[in-house]
Amino acid sequence: MGGFSSEREISLQSGTAVAEALKSMGHDVVIFDFQSIEELVGKLQAGGVDCVFNALHGRFGEDGQVQKILDGLRIPYTGSGVRASQLAMNKVASRRIFQDNGLRVPRYQVVHKDDLYPQINVAEFPVVVKPAHEGSSIGQSIVDDINALPSAVESAACFDETIIVEQYIPGREITVGILDGRPLPVIEVVPKNKFYDFQAKYTKGMTEYKVPADMPEDVKGKVQGAAIKAHRLLGCRCFSRVDMILDAKNRPVVLEVNTIPGLTSTSLLPKAAAAVGIGFSQLCSIMVHAAVNKHYAEALAES
Protein backbone atom coordinates (compact mmCIF):
# COMPACT_ATOMS: atom_id res chain seq x y z
CA MET A 1 0.00 0.00 0.00
CA GLY A 2 1.03 3.63 -0.23
CA GLY A 3 3.56 3.81 -3.04
CA PHE A 4 4.29 7.01 -4.91
CA SER A 5 1.31 7.76 -7.16
CA SER A 6 -1.01 10.77 -6.89
CA GLU A 7 -3.42 8.45 -5.05
CA ARG A 8 -0.96 7.50 -2.31
CA GLU A 9 -3.12 8.75 0.57
CA ILE A 10 -6.18 6.86 -0.70
CA SER A 11 -4.04 3.73 -1.04
CA LEU A 12 -2.92 4.05 2.58
CA GLN A 13 -6.57 4.16 3.64
CA SER A 14 -7.42 1.09 1.58
CA GLY A 15 -4.34 -0.80 2.71
CA THR A 16 -4.91 -0.12 6.40
CA ALA A 17 -8.54 -1.25 6.17
CA VAL A 18 -7.62 -4.39 4.21
CA ALA A 19 -4.82 -5.33 6.63
CA GLU A 20 -7.18 -5.16 9.62
CA ALA A 21 -9.84 -7.12 7.73
CA LEU A 22 -7.42 -9.90 6.77
CA LYS A 23 -6.05 -10.13 10.30
CA SER A 24 -9.60 -10.58 11.58
CA MET A 25 -9.97 -13.54 9.19
CA GLY A 26 -6.86 -15.24 10.57
CA HIS A 27 -4.35 -14.24 7.87
CA ASP A 28 -0.75 -13.42 8.80
CA VAL A 29 -0.42 -9.88 7.42
CA VAL A 30 2.70 -7.82 6.74
CA ILE A 31 2.27 -4.23 5.51
CA PHE A 32 4.55 -3.04 2.71
CA ASP A 33 4.61 0.74 2.30
CA PHE A 34 7.41 1.94 0.04
CA GLN A 35 8.74 4.98 -1.77
CA SER A 36 10.67 3.35 -4.61
CA ILE A 37 10.47 0.29 -6.86
CA GLU A 38 13.85 -0.92 -5.59
CA GLU A 39 12.62 -0.83 -2.00
CA LEU A 40 9.52 -2.87 -2.86
CA VAL A 41 11.42 -5.47 -4.89
CA GLY A 42 13.94 -5.86 -2.08
CA LYS A 43 11.17 -6.55 0.42
CA LEU A 44 9.51 -9.07 -1.87
CA GLN A 45 12.76 -10.87 -2.65
CA ALA A 46 13.41 -11.28 1.07
CA GLY A 47 10.84 -14.06 0.91
CA GLY A 48 8.05 -15.28 3.14
CA VAL A 49 5.24 -13.85 1.00
CA ASP A 50 2.50 -16.28 0.01
CA CYS A 51 0.33 -13.68 -1.69
CA VAL A 52 0.40 -9.92 -2.27
CA PHE A 53 -2.80 -8.04 -1.63
CA ASN A 54 -2.45 -5.12 -4.02
CA ALA A 55 -4.04 -2.01 -2.47
CA LEU A 56 -2.01 0.39 -4.62
CA HIS A 57 -4.21 2.90 -6.44
CA GLY A 58 -3.09 4.86 -9.48
CA ARG A 59 0.09 4.58 -11.47
CA PHE A 60 2.55 1.76 -10.85
CA GLY A 61 0.05 -0.19 -8.72
CA GLU A 62 -2.88 -0.18 -11.09
CA ASP A 63 -1.35 0.09 -14.55
CA GLY A 64 0.43 -3.25 -14.91
CA GLN A 65 3.86 -2.26 -13.59
CA VAL A 66 3.70 -3.92 -10.17
CA GLN A 67 1.81 -6.82 -11.73
CA LYS A 68 4.72 -7.41 -14.12
CA ILE A 69 7.18 -7.41 -11.22
CA LEU A 70 5.07 -9.88 -9.24
CA ASP A 71 4.71 -12.16 -12.28
CA GLY A 72 8.49 -12.13 -12.65
CA LEU A 73 8.91 -13.09 -9.00
CA ARG A 74 6.13 -15.72 -9.36
CA ILE A 75 4.21 -14.33 -6.40
CA PRO A 76 0.40 -14.56 -6.44
CA TYR A 77 -1.40 -11.21 -6.22
CA THR A 78 -4.95 -9.95 -6.02
CA GLY A 79 -6.71 -8.31 -8.93
CA SER A 80 -6.11 -8.31 -12.65
CA GLY A 81 -2.97 -9.20 -14.56
CA VAL A 82 -0.59 -7.03 -16.55
CA ARG A 83 -2.51 -6.50 -19.78
CA ALA A 84 -5.95 -5.96 -18.22
CA SER A 85 -4.43 -3.49 -15.77
CA GLN A 86 -2.69 -1.59 -18.58
CA LEU A 87 -5.88 -1.39 -20.64
CA ALA A 88 -8.15 -0.36 -17.78
CA MET A 89 -5.79 2.41 -16.68
CA ASN A 90 -5.61 3.75 -20.24
CA LYS A 91 -9.02 5.34 -20.86
CA VAL A 92 -8.28 5.81 -24.56
CA ALA A 93 -7.30 2.17 -25.22
CA SER A 94 -10.15 0.75 -23.15
CA ARG A 95 -12.77 2.96 -24.80
CA ARG A 96 -11.68 1.83 -28.24
CA ILE A 97 -12.20 -1.76 -27.15
CA PHE A 98 -15.61 -0.94 -25.70
CA GLN A 99 -16.70 0.86 -28.88
CA ASP A 100 -15.47 -1.92 -31.14
CA ASN A 101 -17.56 -4.39 -29.17
CA GLY A 102 -20.85 -2.53 -29.03
CA LEU A 103 -20.67 -0.79 -25.65
CA ARG A 104 -21.80 2.82 -25.51
CA VAL A 105 -19.15 5.38 -24.43
CA PRO A 106 -19.18 9.21 -24.48
CA ARG A 107 -18.06 10.94 -27.67
CA TYR A 108 -14.52 12.09 -27.02
CA GLN A 109 -11.28 13.27 -28.50
CA VAL A 110 -7.68 13.05 -27.33
CA VAL A 111 -5.66 16.20 -26.67
CA HIS A 112 -1.94 16.54 -25.98
CA LYS A 113 -0.91 18.54 -22.94
CA ASP A 114 0.86 21.17 -25.06
CA ASP A 115 -2.29 21.92 -27.05
CA LEU A 116 -3.91 24.57 -24.86
CA TYR A 117 -6.32 25.69 -27.60
CA PRO A 118 -7.60 22.43 -29.07
CA GLN A 119 -10.33 22.35 -31.69
CA ILE A 120 -13.13 20.61 -29.82
CA ASN A 121 -15.59 18.76 -32.00
CA VAL A 122 -16.82 15.90 -29.79
CA ALA A 123 -20.00 17.67 -28.72
CA GLU A 124 -21.50 20.95 -27.70
CA PHE A 125 -20.46 22.32 -24.33
CA PRO A 126 -20.36 21.37 -21.52
CA VAL A 127 -17.53 18.86 -21.87
CA VAL A 128 -15.55 16.83 -19.35
CA VAL A 129 -11.77 17.20 -19.32
CA LYS A 130 -9.71 14.49 -17.62
CA PRO A 131 -6.24 12.89 -17.65
CA ALA A 132 -6.19 9.65 -19.65
CA HIS A 133 -4.29 7.66 -17.01
CA GLU A 134 -5.52 8.80 -13.60
CA GLY A 135 -8.18 7.67 -11.15
CA SER A 136 -10.21 9.19 -8.30
CA SER A 137 -11.30 12.03 -10.65
CA ILE A 138 -7.88 13.62 -10.15
CA GLY A 139 -7.33 16.50 -12.59
CA GLN A 140 -10.90 16.24 -13.88
CA SER A 141 -13.24 19.16 -14.51
CA ILE A 142 -16.47 20.07 -16.30
CA VAL A 143 -16.12 22.95 -18.75
CA ASP A 144 -19.20 24.98 -19.67
CA ASP A 145 -17.73 27.16 -22.42
CA ILE A 146 -14.74 27.47 -24.70
CA ASN A 147 -13.10 30.22 -22.62
CA ALA A 148 -12.60 27.87 -19.68
CA LEU A 149 -11.11 25.08 -21.80
CA PRO A 150 -7.41 26.09 -21.73
CA SER A 151 -7.22 26.18 -17.93
CA ALA A 152 -8.99 22.81 -17.69
CA VAL A 153 -6.55 21.24 -20.15
CA GLU A 154 -3.66 22.79 -18.24
CA SER A 155 -5.00 21.38 -14.96
CA ALA A 156 -5.33 17.89 -16.41
CA ALA A 157 -1.87 18.19 -17.98
CA CYS A 158 -0.36 18.43 -14.49
CA PHE A 159 -1.07 14.71 -14.18
CA ASP A 160 -0.78 13.35 -17.72
CA GLU A 161 0.54 14.16 -21.17
CA THR A 162 -2.62 12.71 -22.72
CA ILE A 163 -5.95 14.35 -21.95
CA ILE A 164 -9.47 13.29 -22.86
CA VAL A 165 -12.11 15.87 -23.73
CA GLU A 166 -15.46 14.12 -23.77
CA GLN A 167 -19.15 14.77 -24.14
CA TYR A 168 -20.86 15.60 -20.85
CA ILE A 169 -23.78 13.22 -20.47
CA PRO A 170 -26.55 14.28 -18.10
CA GLY A 171 -27.92 11.32 -16.20
CA ARG A 172 -27.58 9.12 -13.16
CA GLU A 173 -24.08 8.22 -12.00
CA ILE A 174 -23.99 4.48 -11.38
CA THR A 175 -21.39 1.84 -10.68
CA VAL A 176 -21.36 -1.95 -10.72
CA GLY A 177 -18.89 -4.04 -8.77
CA ILE A 178 -17.76 -7.35 -10.23
CA LEU A 179 -16.80 -10.18 -7.87
CA ASP A 180 -15.71 -13.65 -8.93
CA GLY A 181 -16.77 -12.83 -12.47
CA ARG A 182 -20.35 -11.89 -11.55
CA PRO A 183 -22.02 -8.49 -11.22
CA LEU A 184 -23.02 -7.19 -7.80
CA PRO A 185 -26.05 -4.91 -7.21
CA VAL A 186 -26.07 -1.57 -9.03
CA ILE A 187 -25.14 1.45 -6.88
CA GLU A 188 -26.38 4.94 -7.70
CA VAL A 189 -24.01 7.73 -6.68
CA VAL A 190 -25.67 11.07 -5.85
CA PRO A 191 -22.96 13.70 -5.16
CA LYS A 192 -23.69 17.11 -3.72
CA ASN A 193 -21.14 18.56 -6.13
CA LYS A 194 -21.82 18.88 -9.86
CA PHE A 195 -20.19 15.48 -10.42
CA TYR A 196 -18.54 12.70 -8.42
CA ASP A 197 -15.20 14.48 -8.01
CA PHE A 198 -12.34 13.85 -5.58
CA GLN A 199 -14.00 15.87 -2.81
CA ALA A 200 -17.32 14.07 -3.25
CA LYS A 201 -15.58 10.68 -3.18
CA TYR A 202 -13.51 11.18 -0.05
CA THR A 203 -15.36 13.74 2.09
CA LYS A 204 -17.93 12.31 4.46
CA GLY A 205 -21.45 13.57 3.81
CA MET A 206 -20.70 14.90 0.32
CA THR A 207 -22.34 11.97 -1.49
CA GLU A 208 -25.44 9.82 -1.07
CA TYR A 209 -25.21 6.16 -2.11
CA LYS A 210 -28.30 4.19 -3.10
CA VAL A 211 -27.66 0.47 -2.69
CA PRO A 212 -29.23 -1.10 -4.62
CA ALA A 213 -30.18 1.60 -7.10
CA ASP A 214 -33.89 2.09 -7.72
CA MET A 215 -34.50 1.09 -11.34
CA PRO A 216 -36.67 -1.33 -13.33
CA GLU A 217 -35.42 -4.89 -13.59
CA ASP A 218 -34.86 -4.65 -17.33
CA VAL A 219 -32.71 -1.54 -16.90
CA LYS A 220 -30.77 -3.17 -14.08
CA GLY A 221 -30.14 -6.14 -16.35
CA LYS A 222 -28.78 -3.89 -19.10
CA VAL A 223 -26.53 -2.06 -16.67
CA GLN A 224 -25.11 -5.23 -15.11
CA GLY A 225 -24.73 -6.78 -18.56
CA ALA A 226 -22.71 -3.80 -19.78
CA ALA A 227 -20.53 -3.96 -16.65
CA ILE A 228 -19.67 -7.63 -16.94
CA LYS A 229 -19.02 -7.23 -20.67
CA ALA A 230 -16.59 -4.36 -20.03
CA HIS A 231 -14.85 -6.39 -17.31
CA ARG A 232 -14.43 -9.38 -19.61
CA LEU A 233 -13.42 -7.40 -22.69
CA LEU A 234 -10.39 -6.05 -20.83
CA GLY A 235 -9.55 -9.50 -19.45
CA CYS A 236 -10.03 -8.50 -15.81
CA ARG A 237 -10.02 -11.25 -13.23
CA CYS A 238 -11.87 -11.84 -9.97
CA PHE A 239 -13.01 -8.28 -9.25
CA SER A 240 -13.32 -4.77 -10.63
CA ARG A 241 -15.70 -1.81 -10.54
CA VAL A 242 -17.29 -0.41 -13.67
CA ASP A 243 -18.39 3.26 -13.60
CA MET A 244 -21.18 4.37 -15.92
CA ILE A 245 -23.78 7.04 -16.62
CA LEU A 246 -27.38 6.02 -17.12
CA ASP A 247 -28.56 8.48 -19.75
CA ALA A 248 -32.00 10.04 -20.25
CA LYS A 249 -33.10 7.00 -22.31
CA ASN A 250 -32.02 4.58 -19.55
CA ARG A 251 -29.01 3.41 -21.57
CA PRO A 252 -25.74 2.61 -19.74
CA VAL A 253 -22.74 4.62 -20.97
CA VAL A 254 -19.43 3.11 -19.84
CA LEU A 255 -16.88 5.58 -18.45
CA GLU A 256 -14.13 3.33 -17.09
CA VAL A 257 -13.18 0.08 -15.38
CA ASN A 258 -11.31 0.26 -12.06
CA THR A 259 -9.14 -2.82 -11.46
CA ILE A 260 -8.11 -1.66 -7.95
CA PRO A 261 -11.22 0.12 -6.67
CA GLY A 262 -11.34 1.74 -3.26
CA LEU A 263 -11.16 -0.90 -0.54
CA THR A 264 -12.30 0.56 2.74
CA SER A 265 -15.43 -0.69 4.45
CA THR A 266 -17.30 2.36 3.09
CA SER A 267 -16.02 2.13 -0.51
CA LEU A 268 -18.33 1.28 -3.39
CA LEU A 269 -17.30 -2.31 -4.12
CA PRO A 270 -17.58 -3.31 -0.43
CA LYS A 271 -20.98 -1.56 -0.25
CA ALA A 272 -22.23 -3.65 -3.17
CA ALA A 273 -20.83 -6.85 -1.65
CA ALA A 274 -22.50 -6.04 1.68
CA ALA A 275 -25.83 -5.76 -0.15
CA VAL A 276 -25.60 -9.48 -0.97
CA GLY A 277 -24.40 -10.48 2.51
CA ILE A 278 -20.63 -10.42 1.99
CA GLY A 279 -18.95 -8.47 4.79
CA PHE A 280 -15.77 -6.48 4.25
CA SER A 281 -13.45 -8.96 5.95
CA GLN A 282 -14.95 -11.85 4.01
CA LEU A 283 -14.63 -9.88 0.78
CA CYS A 284 -10.92 -9.29 1.32
CA SER A 285 -10.37 -12.96 2.15
CA ILE A 286 -12.24 -14.01 -1.01
CA MET A 287 -9.86 -11.84 -3.04
CA VAL A 288 -6.80 -13.47 -1.48
CA HIS A 289 -8.05 -17.02 -2.02
CA ALA A 290 -9.01 -16.22 -5.62
CA ALA A 291 -5.51 -14.89 -6.27
CA VAL A 292 -3.78 -17.94 -4.82
CA ASN A 293 -6.10 -20.41 -6.57
CA LYS A 294 -5.63 -18.63 -9.93
CA HIS A 295 -1.86 -18.58 -9.53
CA TYR A 296 -1.50 -22.28 -8.79
CA ALA A 297 -4.04 -23.27 -11.44
CA GLU A 298 -1.94 -21.42 -14.02
CA ALA A 299 1.28 -22.98 -12.68
CA LEU A 300 -0.27 -26.44 -12.91
CA ALA A 301 -1.42 -25.78 -16.47
CA GLU A 302 2.13 -24.78 -17.44
CA SER A 303 3.70 -27.92 -15.94
Active-site amino acid positions:
7, 136, 202, 241, 243, 256, 258, 262
Look at residues 179, 252, 182, 181 and name the one whose alpha carbon lies nearest to residue 213. 252
C-beta of residue 78 within 8 angstroms of C-beta of residue 290: yes
Q: For the chain, what is the largest distance between any 2 Cα atoms, rounded to a whole number of angstroms?
A: 61
C-beta of residue 223 within 8 angstroms of C-beta of residue 178: no
Angle at 214 between CA 191 and CA 270, to 5 degrees: 65
Query: Strand, helix or coil at 228?
Result: helix
Residues 6+ apart with CB under 8 A from 130: 91, 137, 139, 140, 141, 156, 163, 164, 166
C-beta of residue 126 within 8 angstroms of C-beta of residue 168: yes
Look at residues 100, 124, 252, 118 and name the one whose alpha carbon lies nearest to residue 188. 252
What whole-number distance in Å separates Cα of residue 90 and Cα of residue 216? 32
Angle of the 280-302 helix axis to the 8-24 helix axis, nearest 10 = 90
What whole-number distance in Å separates Cα of residue 48 and Cα of residue 175? 37
